[in-house]
Structure formats: C-alpha cells, structure tokens
Amino acid sequence: GFPRVLPDNPQIGRMAADHLLECAVPHFAYLARGETLYAEEEHASGHRRYSRERLQGYRARLRDFSQEPAVHYLSGHPLWLPGTWRAVQAEVMDFLKTLPSPCGIFVADDALGAVALRAADALGRKVPDSLAVIGFGDDPAYCFATLPALSTIVYPAREIGRQAAELLWRQMNGEPFPAGRTVLPVSDYAIRESSDTLAIPDPEIRGLLRFIRLRAPHEPLLVSELAERSGLSLTTIKARFAKFLGRGPKQEIQRVRLLHLQHLLRNTGEPLSGIARRMKFGSAHELSRFFLTETGQRPGEFRTAGSVSIGALTGTLPNEKP
C-alpha cells in the first residue's frame, strides 16, 4: 500500500496520562470512537487503529502509577444523518454519569472532546473541578467551540505535511522511499481551561502551583518567594509539596522551566542568547548548564535530535543543500 505519515499514537496516550497525573486527579477515563461508519462505499467502515494505540500508551503510563482508566468506545453512528450528533452526545452523557468525581478524561480527538464538554455541561458537571478534559489535535474549530476551551495535545501538522510531501516527491521521481508507516514524535501541549486545575485539596498549594505555572517559564523563581506569597513557612511548603506532588517546590519550578525551554528550543530558531534573555537566565552559558544538568544533553544536541527527518536519513529535496 501507500506509505503513511502518522503521529506517534502511543506517545499521545502517554502525554495525556502525564498531564492528567500532574493534575493529581484520583480517577481516570478514556473516550474514543469505536466503529466508524461512512456513507461512501469507497471508504471502509470499521474500528480505527489510532484510538486503540492511544489507549495503549495511556493505559501503560497510568499503570506505572497503579491506575486503570474507565474506557468507553462509541458505537457506530451514521454521522452524515441529521440529529446523529445528539445521539452521540446522549451516549457520552451516559458514560460521564458513571465516572466518579473528580476524574480526568482523555478524549482521543478534539471533535469528540467538544462533545464531551457539552455533555458535561448538560449534566451540570463542573469542568475542570469535577472533570478535567484533554483531547488531541489542537483544532481551533473544536477547541474554542465550548466554554471552557478544550486542552489538547498538538498535532504536528507542519512536520507531517513536510515529510508526506517529501515521500510524494520521491514516489513521483522513482526514488526509493520508506515503506509502510512513518511515525513522528509528538511533543507539545496546548493547556486551556478544561484541564487547568490541580485536584489537590489544599487551596494554598494549588494557588502556589498555578503561580509557578505562570511565572516560572519566564523567570527563575525562588522558593522563598513562594513563602512570601503564601505566608506559609518554607518547611510547611516543602512538606505539602512532597505530600501532594511527590517532589519539592524547587524541583517543580525547575520542571516547569525545563518544559518551556524545551518548547522554545524545539519550535523556534531563536539563538540561545535570546532564549536566555526571554527566560531571564544570567547568560546563554547558564542556560546550557541548566539544560545539561536536567537532561544530560546540551541544547544544541536536543535541537539536532528534534530536526531529524526523512531528508536527513535518505537524501534531500530539490534545491536543498545537504
């Protein structure tokens, strides 16, 4: 068959689990399309592989924490018929009624994620306090179709399109190309209101965590600033962070800064000196030392690893320098 370029579906599932685990919800669920029906005869109806691969990664990651998600696959619905989406929403509502509160749910795609948010609203279930929701795709037509807006894992559309075009070019020119599936890594979140919560019963620690999320990507917070902001002693803050997160406040600050730094290295061509100024490191050298300590890699090595493509492995496109 024809070659295909796809996102890493098990990795998508693992990322969804990681995000909901960070929200510290005690229960987890997974919602996806089961059998997909098509009106056109040339399209084969049936169960879709991607939804099971995403569940595979999601379930495996949760099992590292002795958690097992509630799972629901939608029955086949003729979506081209009027009123069918109301039947889909009714089925989703029935599933949501079975979930305890609070719960984190990974919905396999953004379109169904928007349905889940409407179903939660119809049930009077508060999002994200009672139900934290994350999807996949970062499709604005669905992510901003509801209130609250839908958190999601970003589909690597640009890189998938680029590599698909390269494969097509190779086929048209009779050149060798990889057979089967080319699977690309997925790395970015778009966190919005549907999961922007930490289901931690301590409001002071919850507030400090939100403060870290907002400030740490842009400046090197000190743990002493958390004490000044909250009025809690450093000993109390450290003890409560360890209780609810399993790590200290300094580690949480470093984790948030590292995630943002990786995002900038991966998705911008900005030099290290510019990123260092943006994140208020003392210098590019200090940034590099921080990154090496936290990851075992230098920033340049991380960028190089993230830019590996079919072209780097098998040749170059026309007018590209090797």
Q: Please, what are the domains in the chain?
A: 7-156 (3.40.50.2300), 203-306 (1.10.10.60)
CA distance 83 to 185: 37
Task: Return the DSSP state at 266.
Answer: H
- What spatial distance separates the first Cα and last Cα of the chain, rounded to whole Å? 29
Three-state helix/strand/coil letters over 280-296:
CCCCHHHHHHHHHHHHC
Between the alpha carbon of residue 281 and those of residues 190, 203, 275, the distances in Å are 24, 30, 8
Mean pLDDT by groups of 10 residues along the chain of 322 residues = 86 94 86 74 68 96 89 81 82 96 96 96 94 96 91 93 87 80 90 81 87 86 94 95 92 91 85 95 96 94 66 31 29
* Other Cβ atoms within 10 Å of 124 Cβ, number: 7
Structure tokens at 181: 């599936």
Alpha helices in 23-109 (DSSP H): 49-63, 84-97
pLDDT of 191 reads 86
pLDDT of 170 reads 84
pLDDT of 76 reads 76
pTM of the predicted model as reported, rounded to 2 decimal places: 0.67
CA angle, residues 70, 72, 78, in degrees to nearest 5: 170
Q: What CA dihedral angle connects 112, 113, 119 and 125, to 10 degrees?
A: 160
pLDDT of 229 reads 93
Cβ atoms of residues 108 and 54 within 8 Å = yes
The candidate with the shortest Cα–Cα distance to 85, out of 110, 115, 107, is: 115
pLDDT of 37 reads 60
The CB-side HSE value for 105 (13 A sphere, CA atoms) comes to 37
Cβ atoms of residues 19 and 189 within 8 Å = yes
Between the alpha carbon of residue 83 and those of residues 77, 79, 94, 142, the distances in Å are 10, 8, 17, 18
Per DSSP, what are the bridge partners of residue 6? 183
CA distance 234 to 249: 9
pLDDT of 176 reads 79
